[in-house]
Structure formats: structure tokens, C-alpha cells
Amino acid sequence: MYNQIDSNKRRTWALIIIFVAAVLGLGWFVGYYFDYGYGALAAAAVISLVMTLFSYYGGDRLALWSAKARPAGKTDNPYVYNLVENLCITAGLPAPKVYIIPEEAINAFAAGRDPQHASIAVTVGAINKLENEELEGVIAHELSHIKNYDIRLMTVVIVLVGMISLLADFFFRGSLFGLGRKNDNNNSGRSWLMIVGVILIILSPIIAKLIQLAVSRRREYLADASGVLLTRYPEGLARALEKIAADPAVLANASAATAHLYIANPFKGSGKFLARAFSTHPPVEDRIKKLRGMA
């Protein structure tokens, strides 16, 4: 379990470093191409940050509203509330607000910018179809997202994605108006630099999205391992994931904007390469295999 946690943390931060390097490289190229220095990069950073502040402070409420989740106090659903409370004591976390999603699909998600402002939502299907140890594994997984500050990390990633998108858009619009250096055609070295830079600018939004999804998948593996550290019973979460994969019900109110929050892909994506590459979650089979290999 500890090896899995350390490995996932290293890989996540490696992806973040690559992401930051890509943003700086693209910012330098756009500034060089239009002879703006670092102004384009600074402008993209400010705009992306402002656009992300709303999702950072209000994204949890929006996710709960879109899922049609309703609050559940201790008297409303003592079974779920007590599971959450007991696991929070074990993890040393303040108890999050508990919500119930009125859907028969087996799923759950956590939201909130930090442990003091967090919520956890569980579907009716998960409560009815999972055994005690299985539901405990699901809740432990979601609490691990809160403890690991995954929402905050993904907010940083979204800022980086926004910066790359804005830089690419700025480049395309500037090129349409004929802006850019005019004297570089006389220098073959600079011309090749321009060609490479243009290709990277075109591909950058796709690459950024793939890195974002890769970070999201690494955080799922980390939450699996951290959740097992809470329950000390990897088989519970493994069996829950098996039931989620086999469950024919789908979430009616899930959206692409909130899909990464759930414990499993709410859209039941296929196993094809492209579907996996653009999925917010790693393959369930791989997660189960890793869980059963923990000791």
C-alpha cells in the first residue's frame, strides 16, 4: 500500500512538472513569435486564474446541484452518516457534509476545496446494492480524495489547461491578422523553429487534455491505495468496483464537467484505446488487480 501511494505521488508530480514546462515553453514561443516578451504568458495566467476561481469556490455546490443530490443528516440516513463519521475519525478528518443522490447506479463522489469545506455524495444504488465493507471502501476512497487535496490539485491542472488553450487561441487569432515576426524567413534556423512551434501550438490543446486526464487517473490510483490504508481491507473496494462495472444502471445526471469527480466513470466507457486515453478514470480491471495485489 505504501509503495503504491509513493509511486502514484511521484508520477503525479512528474506530470505536473511536464505540464508547467509545456506552458512555459508555449508562452515563450508565443511571446517570441509576436515579439511580446512574456506578456502573452502573463495575460493567459491572469485570465485562466480568474476563470477558475468560480469553480474553485463554487464548484462543489454546482456538482451537487447537477447531480440532484439532497442533504442527509444523521437522522435521515444514520447508516451512511455513521460510516462517514467513523472513517473520518480514523483518517483524522473533519466530517464532510453527506448527500444522497437519488439514482440506482452505483457511484459516489467527493467535492470541496479542502477538508474544512468538503462534501461527499453517495447514490441510492450504492447504499442498496453494496455490502457494508464494499460501501465502506467506496467512502474511504472518496475521503482520501479530500485528505489528499485532490480537488485543489485538479484546480491547478485546470488553470494550466486554460492557459494552454488561451495561448493557442491567441496564436491562431494573431496569425489570422498577420501579426508575428516578418524577418525570420531569411534565417533557416528560425524558420524551422517557427514550423516546430506552430505544430506544437496546434497540438497543444490535445496534449494538455491528455495530461489532465493522466493526472486524474493517477489520483484515482492514489485514492484507491489511500482508501485501503483507512479500511485495511482492499477486497472491500475491489468487490465494490466489480459491482460498479457489472451494474447496468447509468447516472442520468452526470456530465463531462463532473465525470472526473466520481469513483468510476459514470458513462461506462468502452475498453478501446481512444476511449481509455480520453477517460477520466483508469480501467476498472486494472484498479481491481492493483487492489488485490496490495499487502
142 carries an active-site annotation: yes
Q: Total structural domains in the chain?
A: 1
- In contact, 279 and 266? CB cutoff 8 Å: no
Range of the domain at 8: 2-292
pLDDT average per 10 residues of sequence, the chain (295 residues): 72 78 77 71 73 73 90 91 95 95 96 89 97 97 92 73 76 65 52 68 79 86 93 96 94 82 80 64 94 86
Pull the grid cell for residue 294: 496490495
Helices (H), the chain: 2-34, 39-66, 78-91, 124-129, 132-147, 150-176, 188-231, 234-246, 273-277, 284-292
Pull the grid cell for residue 245: 462495472
* pLDDT of amino acid 202: 77
CA 255/CA 259 separation, integer angstroms: 6
103, 134, 142, 220: the catalytic one is 142
Exposure b/e, 164-182, CB count within 10 A at least 16 = b: bbbbbebbeebeeeeeeee
Choose among 22, 7, 50: nearest CA to 201.
22
* pLDDT of amino acid 61: 86
Q: Indicate the DSSP class of residue 264.
A: S
* pLDDT of amino acid 167: 76
- In contact, 139 and 105? CB cutoff 8 Å: no
* pLDDT of amino acid 271: 53
Whether this model's pTM surpasses 0.95? no
DSSP lists the bridge partners of residue 109 as: 121, 262
